[in-house]
Amino acid sequence: MFVVVGLGNPGKEYTNTRHNIGFDTIDLLASRNNIKINKIKFKSVYGEGIIGNEKVLLVKPQTYMNNSGITVRDIYNFYKVPIENIIVVVDDIDIDFAAVRIKRKGSAGSHNGLKSIIYLLQKDDFPRVKIGIGKKHEAQDLANFVLSRFSKSEREIIEGSILLGAQSVEAIIKYGIDEAMNEFNTKGNRAQD
């Protein structure tokens, strides 16, 4: 069993913000794999389904970004799923805009959602799919930047990255993280379908 957690903030005012790219990716995964996000538990909304031959939970925590770890910890404790089967989809300001990177494990960097997960699990060896949301201007406040929306032209580009992120998650589940990293961590890789 795999648990895919897309990070974001609940509520209409956060829809389509840079920080909600994890939610956007979960929505696309749900639609691509005919999974309905219609259950409420673990301080989240989630759906159960199959990707490849694996049972999968697609999860959108409803705790707000800075407390995402509460949802992940509760699911981890309830299902006893191996840590390497918890895939976190997250926005990243430290990689190029629209880049998609799979990482096997690592620190939280400046991301409060990842900090919360690592703090509450006391582990950092869960895979993550990172999507580059751009870099803030020097004078810009980080919180204001991540809670801003993409411009129309940026949104068109980021839609391709969301697709690539969804495909990355599917590849991790179907073929394993090594094969997924080999395929998707290549420079210049573009979404294909």
- Backbone angle region of 106, left / alpha / beta, with phi > 0 → left and psi within -120 to 50 → alpha: left
pLDDT at 2 over 70: yes
Q: Is 85 annotated as a binding residue?
A: no
Distance CA 156, CA 76 (A): 35
**Would you say residue 192 has pLDDT above 60?**
no
3-state SS class at 2: strand
Mutual orientation of helices 152-175 and 177-184 as an angle, nearest 10°? 150
pLDDT tens string 38-54: 999 999 999 999 999 99
Contact 170/102 with Cβ under 8 angstroms? no
Length of the chain: 193
Phi and psi torsions of 120, nearest 5°: -80, -30
The tens digit of pLDDT for each residue in 128-184 reads 999 999 988 787 888 889 898 999 999 999 999 999 999 999 999 999 999 999 999
Kindly tell me if the per-residue pLDDT of 187 is higher than 60.
no
pLDDT at 136: 81
For the domain made up of 2-185, the CATH class stated in words is: alpha beta
Phi, psi dihedrals of residue 133, rounded to the nearest 5°:
-105, 10
The per-residue pLDDT for range 111-128, each reduced to its tens digit, is: 999 999 999 999 999 999
Residues with a catalytic annotation lie at: 19
**pTM over 0.75, yes/no:** yes
Taking 60 as the threshold, does the pLDDT of residue 57 lie above it? Answer: yes
Is 76 annotated to bind a ligand? Reply is no
Annotated binding residue 14: yes
